[in-house]
Amino acid sequence: MSLTTVSVRTLLILGLCQVGRRGLASAPEVKEQPKKIAIIGAGIGGTAAAFFLRQEFGPGVKIDVFEAGKVGGRLATENIGGDDYETGGSIIHPLNLHMKHFVDQIGLSPRADVPSKVAIFDGKELTFEESDWFIVNVFRMLWRYGLNFLRMHMWVESILDKFMRIYQYQQFGYSFSSVEKLLHAMGGDSFLTLVNQTLEEAMLAEGFSQVFLNDMVAPVTRVNYGQSVRVNGFVGAVSLAGADSGLWAVDGGNKKVCSGLLYNSKAVLIPARVTAISVKLRSTRAGATTNFYEVNYVEESGSAHSFYDIVIVATPLHQDVSQITFSGLSPPIPSTFPGQYHQTVTTLVHGILNVSFLGTNAKAADFRVTDVLTTDQKGSFINSLSALTPVHVAKGYRPPPANQRKVWKVFSPQPLSEDQLKQMFLSWDEVSETRWLAYPSYSPPQRRTPPFILHDRIYYVNAVEWAASAMEMSAISARNVALLAHHRWHEQTAKIDQEDLHTRLRGEL
């Protein structure tokens, strides 16, 4: 990492404090503010959208957030063995500036750090085990993979440097009408190429070895996205950044960010499932006609509908996920877009691990590995196995060794059978299973990512997941969509899809 990148990043981090203050300043108001905005979904995408929309449109607009399940969506916890544990999105990168900003704004804090230790399991034995000594790890890597490992860090760093540009653009109020344009503004053609090829192709082209990909990279894409190195290169790089140091989570559970953002934005939570969205014409007092959106929903007391000026869809419009019908819109919006969401099953087990399952001779009492990643092997029924720490870590907490009963998290493509549990655990007293449609099944090249703009004033936050699905990506997309909604409402086209922002803004930092 060069000195200049460090200082640019520091500036960005400091600069983010200004974000809130920019607020309404961007609008020389040419038109009344919208009166009502609907957001569908109270995951991190929807609640971040509420937060940013409030920032853009001010205190006057009514913001309703519809949620069919629980606030937090794919950020969720389960109670097992007397404590709460993350079952969905769990780790946050140190340079995820929106997440950082939210946590500060809401008054939450990062969870206390607990030491971790990674190992890689090939179905028979542990082929790699992290040492407590940094230098030992470096030499082991050099010995086995030459410079691949160090070069990987540099490669991911260079992508991350470009990625960080988005914060500056958003700080200046710039927005993008498509995922492709957003990616292009960050990383130029190289980012577009990255989403359109597999991580494997991208890394082989960069000179990484196939052995390194199989041994070290695939385990990372498997734990983060349940998929192989054939995911797209961009989500692959995001995944590899997720193997950096300094990863964090929110004290008390990541989903607290969502409820905090809802509260902070003074949005109204409507516990209901949205079933349909249609466009209606309304004549104004002046005799002109404007269109507005009718949102139909089902709540406990029955069906109802409300009218909105702007609608934000913050849930995936893919098969089996949200089931929203759009009608009367031209051009029509499909209720499902092509492509599928990938199933990942999270199983929490309160029990005692059979360490021999991992082919190790270590005594359970000495076994301190916390994260077991796996290589892509036929017949392997797990993606990863991790010793969990509760969402809140008490002072002086020390992770118990493997000979004691504790909570393990298994990611697998299919639910675990009783027999599979028996292979892994000597005993257990509680099991909790969550079946997620977790993230897209990535299979580049991709025809086209879904649009941010579904209709005149209907926006789609989750389009971004086809580049990469992560909390921060939803937050970036939420900010983009809030800016887009604002600029399009006030017809400020100069803040949309500007080319070459990187060069133009360089002088402004």
Ligand X SMILES: *[C@@H]1O[C@H](CO)[C@@H](O)[C@H](O)[C@H]1NC(C)=O
Please give the residue ranges that form the binding site for ligand FAD (CB under 6 A): 40-46, 66-69, 73-75, 88-91, 273-274, 314-315, 322-324, 344, 346, 436, 438-439, 461-462, 469-472, 474
> What H or E segment, with its residue span, contains residue 429?
strand 425-440
Name which of 123 and 413 has its Cβ closer to ligand FAD.
413
Structure tokens at 1: 């990492």
CB count within 10 Å of CB 146 equals 12
97 binding partner (options ligand X, ligand FAD, none; Cβ < 5 to 8 Å by kind): none
88 binding partner (options ligand FAD, ligand X, none; Cβ < 5 to 8 Å by kind): ligand FAD
User: Minimal distance in Å, beta carbon 127 to ligand FAD?
Assistant: 23
**How far, in whole angstroms, is CA 114 from its chain's centroid?**
22
Token match 């995922």: residue?
179
**How far, in whole angstroms, is CA 470 from its chain's centroid?**
1
Rounded-to-10 torsion of CA 397, 403, 409, 415? -160
The residues with which 86 forms a beta bridge, in sequence order, are 77
Name which of 415 and 445 has its Cβ closer to ligand X.
445
Name which of 346 and 449 has its Cβ closer to ligand X.
449
Judged by the rule CB under 6 A, the positions of this chain that interact with ligand X are 180, 192, 196, 354, 356-357, 423, 426, 445
Token match 């996920």: residue?
321
Name which of 66 and 337 has its Cβ closer to ligand FAD.
66
Residues 6+ apart with CB under 8 A from 256: 106, 108, 250
Q: How many CA atoms, within 13 angstroms, populate the side-chain half-sphere of residue 182? A: 32
User: Minimal distance in Å, beta carbon 167 to ligand FAD?
Assistant: 16
Name which of 355 and 467 has its Cβ closer to ligand FAD.
467
User: Minimal distance in Å, beta carbon 506 to ligand FAD?
Assistant: 29
Name which of 333 and 438 has its Cβ closer to ligand FAD.
438
291/306 Cα distance (integer angstroms): 14
User: Minimal distance in Å, beta carbon 180 to ligand X?
Assistant: 5
User: Minimal distance in Å, beta carbon 355 to ligand X?
Assistant: 8
DSSP-derived secondary structure for 356-411: GGGT--S-GGG----EEEE---TT---SEEEE---SS--TT--PPPTTS-EEEEEE
User: Minimal distance in Å, beta carbon 357 to ligand X?
Assistant: 5
User: Minimal distance in Å, beta carbon 505 to ligand FAD?
Assistant: 26
> What H or E segment, with its residue span, contains residue 236?
helix 233-241
426 binding partner (options ligand X, ligand FAD, none; Cβ < 5 to 8 Å by kind): ligand X
386 binding partner (options ligand FAD, ligand X, none; Cβ < 5 to 8 Å by kind): none
Burial class of residue 364 in the structure, from the number of CB atoms within 10 Å of its CB (0-12 exposed, 13-18 middle, 19+ buried): middle
User: Minimal distance in Å, beta carbon 465 to ligand FAD?
Assistant: 6
404 binding partner (options ligand FAD, ligand X, none; Cβ < 5 to 8 Å by kind): none
42 binding partner (options ligand X, ligand FAD, none; Cβ < 5 to 8 Å by kind): ligand FAD
40 binding partner (options ligand X, ligand FAD, none; Cβ < 5 to 8 Å by kind): ligand FAD
90 binding partner (options ligand X, ligand FAD, none; Cβ < 5 to 8 Å by kind): ligand FAD
- Contact at 8 Å (CB) between 316 and 339? no
User: Minimal distance in Å, beta carbon 197 to ligand X?
Assistant: 9
Give the phi and the psi of residue 504 in degrees, each rounded to 5: -65, -35
196 binding partner (options ligand FAD, ligand X, none; Cβ < 5 to 8 Å by kind): ligand X
Name which of 109 and 356 has its Cβ closer to ligand X.
356
Helix (H/G/I), strand (E/B), else coil: 92: strand
